[in-house]
Chain A
Amino acid sequence: MGDENKELEETVGQILEKYRHDKGMLVSVLQDIQAKYRYLPKEALKQVCQGLLVPLSQVYSVATFFKAFSLLPRGRHLINVCLGTACHVRGTDKVLEKIERELGINAGSTTKDLKFTLETVNCVGACALGPIVKVDEEYHGEMSTDKVVSVLKSYT
């Protein structure tokens, strides 16, 4: 535990350093922390508050305002189902429901084994290929309910 905390402190320290402790870069700092840990650990937020000299309340208000941030640990793979308009008119809702049934969780939560976190996003900019399901950095285009199982299976 001690080592982990130390590692976290160092990493966050480096990120703060990278942005030269500039208050204006709060969102970017949080993004970098999240990119590293897949969520925003509480300890990290406290350190950001001290490092940027902004109140903890402001750090929390930003961390909870933007959809992309999570205060809870996330799974190894992040599934983002696009609910943008182009995907919506091509039936993305059915795809989302199918994934929810397959994983036994609702959008916004993580499977018990911490394998998948299921989230939704409003457009990833690949609208021509909708419905789009993005898993980590991989885009799966023209998704339909019958493709869901094989896509999920391809992740370990």
Chain B
Amino acid sequence: MVKVSSFAELETLRKSIVARRDPQKAMITVCGGTGCHAHGCEKVAAAFRQEIEQQNLAGKVDLRITGCHGFCERGTLVVVKPQDIFYQRVKEKDVSTILSETVAKGNVIERLLFTDLATKEKITRELEIPFYKKQNRLILGNNGSIDPTVIDDYLAVGGYAALARSLQRMSPEQIIDEVKKSGLRGRGGGGFPTGIKWESTRRAHGDTKYVICNADEGDPGAYMDRSLMEGNPHSVLEGMIIGAYAIGSDQGYIYIRNEYPLAVKNAQIAIEQAEDYGLLGKNILGSGFDFSVRINRGGGAFICGESTALMASLEGHVGEPRAKYVHTAEKGLWNQPTNLNNVETWANVPLIINKGADWYSKIGTRNSKGTKIFSLVGKINNTGLVEVPMGITLREIVYDIGGGIPGGKKFKAVQTGGPSGGVIPESLIDLPVDFDELTKVGSMMGSGAMIVMDENTCMVDIAKYYVSFLEGESCGKCLPCREGLKRLREILADISEGRGEDDDIDLLENLSVALVDGSLCALGATAPNPVLTTLHYFREEYDAHIKDKRCPAGVCKELITYCINNEKCPGCGLCVKACPVQAITLTGKKKPAILDQEKCIKCGACYDVCKLCAVDIK
């Protein structure tokens, strides 16, 4: 690779990359995101490679492995260009047909298309699928079309133009003003205005300044940062370089969870390629500005996503937070002024510079601008990543994009904000989703996990789940969090195991107040949210557990029994084989099986294995 040493050279390079590409040439893109990996996309890609070679098609069709499209549930996703035919649930065996029918003859293979459940219509183009229709994929949009390990792909779609523009035509102050005017707020959870944070770090005194990208993404159930880092790492890098220039920093760090090996790999490749072109390193694009970036991997601790804990971990210490009397913008990493932003926040920056703050601030609501990526998961038909304008209602997300609840079950609630957030009940389904509205109802934006729950999700269990998670993740430095979470979990466990007492609810509420007031960092201070919101919106469910010793959702093991439904059970014996403790016996041909409650350990194996739903939970 040749170094690009001026703005003009960058544009020449871009033009030559675009000129070398024939938009009319056939191309197959295979999604290589983590969701599709779980569906076996590697095998599909390998099969394409092999078939293309065997059928001597190398000159006629290109193969590209892209980042995550978001519609993970339907993987492996394959798009055939230039027609843009979208195939889903593609397996190895479909590969040769795609080549011989679609690529060679232009025929569409009906069975691989997406079928709209409502209209039974087959849909050929990706963006016409209801899942994508209400989305506004400003940040995720390029994920499905570029190969994240090829910098030229990013340059071909206009990549690094925002960087060139910033360095060439804007002063650091102008960039900060633009970001302030755009109304961009941090996507890592707190929603702090990004431009103001940059300004404080720029103004702070220090020998060196650092910028950090927070890709720790510890919120269980959220994976948008991972998909961005894996699928379009250059957009994050470009944002970081612009930010560093605006702040006056020459060293950046990306802190990535080690559980995300592909994100680590692709970020590393992106850094190396950007260095090769001279977009990172000394004298970037001949502007005189120096900046380099290094990757650090996390060690699987949720608390390391918190700013001060992350910085401690970067210095090689355990990830314990500190009180923030002095902000990290003044004294952060190695006691120098440090600016930390989330992956998605950084990825918004090139967009703002390219399109301008005026354009950007037209999207969204009064105090929440732009789009937000959510991971729409749990009990929902179309699971995956969705990018929507701020202010869209929960109903639109759950029903129009998500396609409602599977198996004809009833929608119960949606949880946002992860362990620091809350549960939002069905009665609030028309709530517009933005930073302030979510906070108002007791939840928060958080990093963007949206966990949909149906009638079979128990709210006491959910509260217990989050509290146990945080109990395990509490670093133990301050007492309210360390001990308080333990007690909260014990009380919730009592309730879910049938030992609940009347005054437990008061106890939960009092303890929650102590945690909010007394904790050192936001982990403890927000930890009671799942408890308080479930108590507030689902009090009757707590009462059923405490007073009637009953779990209405059929989840809490100690309060339920598995029973054979005599009318439905044909005595096929599948459950007998599945039962690990021989609690089920057959009484003869075509006669229902009998379940011995004394022996039953409530493992649920019979329930899972029965195809006729002849096992009831009571």
- Please list the residues of chain A having a beta carbon within 8 angstroms of any beta carbon in chain B: 23-28, 30-31, 52, 54, 58, 61-62, 65-69, 83-86, 88-91, 94, 97-98, 101, 121-130, 132, 137, 139-141, 144-146
Complex contact B38–A146 (CB within 8 A): no
Complex contact A66–B296 (CB within 8 A): no
Complex contact B38–A67 (CB within 8 A): no
Interface centre among A65, A83, A137, A144 (most CB of B within 10 A): A65
- Please list the residues of chain B having a beta carbon within 8 angstroms of any beta carbon in chain A: 34-35, 37-39, 72-73, 217-223, 226-227, 258-261, 296-302, 313-319, 375, 377-379, 383-384, 415, 418, 449, 451, 453, 457, 462, 465-466, 469, 473, 475, 578, 580, 603-605, 608-609
Nearest first, the 7 A-B pairs at minimum CB distance are A66-B299, A84-B220, A128-B72, A139-B38, A26-B316, A85-B221, A125-B223
Q: How far does the Cβ of B132 sit from chain A's closest Cβ, in whole Å? A: 15
Q: What are some 20 contacts across the A-B interface (CB < 8 A)?
A: A24-B314, A25-B296, A27-B316, A28-B296, A30-B299, A31-B297, A62-B299, A68-B258, A68-B300, A85-B466, A89-B457, A91-B604, A123-B218, A125-B217, A125-B223, A125-B259, A126-B38, A127-B221, A128-B72, A129-B35
Interface of A is mostly: helix
A28-B297, A68-B300 known; A62+B465 contact, CB < 8 A: no
In the complex, chain A residues whose CB is within 8 Å of the CB of B318:
61-62, 65-66
In the complex, chain B residues whose CB is within 8 Å of the CB of A65:
299, 301, 318-319, 475
Complex contact A88–B296 (CB within 8 A): no
Of B35, B315, B418, B475, the residue contacting A126 (CB under 8 A) is: B35
Complex contact A146–B608 (CB within 8 A): yes
A125-B223, A128-B383, A139-B38 known; A23+B578 contact, CB < 8 A: no
In the complex, chain A residues whose CB is within 8 Å of the CB of B314:
24
Complex contact B221–A86 (CB within 8 A): yes
A25-B316, A65-B319, A127-B221 known; A98+B605 contact, CB < 8 A: yes
Q: How far does the Cβ of A49 sit from chain B's closest Cβ, in whole Å? A: 12
Q: How far does the Cβ of B429 sit from chain A's closest Cβ, in whole Å? A: 18
In the complex, chain A residues whose CB is within 8 Å of the CB of B298:
27, 66
Q: How far does the Cβ of A55 sit from chain B's closest Cβ, in whole Å? A: 11
Interface centre among A26, A129, A140 (most CB of B within 10 A): A129
Complex contact A145–B609 (CB within 8 A): yes
Q: How far does the Cβ of A108 sit from chain B's closest Cβ, in whole Å? A: 12
In the complex, chain A residues whose CB is within 8 Å of the CB of B220:
83-86, 88, 122-123
